[in-house]
Amino acid sequence: MIDISKFVEKMKSKYDDFVIALKSEGKETRAVYELLNKAAKGQLVDKAGKKRSLSEEEIETIKVRSVDILRLLGLTSIALLPGGTLVFVLLKAFKQEDKILPSSFKKKP
């Protein structure tokens, strides 16, 4: 017989992990938005106060975040489709969830 309290605890833990990952995605996306906004307005400055362009590291961060945003949009659209849950189950069964999950949702080794 299934122990309901263990099941509830497991589901609560997974929900908490989901909320933490969602908050992390939001913070990272907000930071990139602010960076892009400053760059578009020409408000990026170096330590000396001179205008500058985006650094290579910032450009790479923007690329990674953009991929994560697209993955999150894809994940949302799959969830909204009829049978979306089945798609998730199949992706998990074939160990392909890393292809659609944003980086904050991936388990850390």
The model's confidence at residue 32, banded by pLDDT at 50, 70 and 90, is very high
Among the residues of the chain, which ranges form H helices?
4-41, 56-80, 84-93
The model's confidence at residue 107, banded by pLDDT at 50, 70 and 90, is low
Q: What is the mean pLDDT of residues 86-109?
A: 72
Q: Spell out the domain ranges in the chain.
A: 4-105
φ/ψ (deg, to 5) at 52 = -140, 170
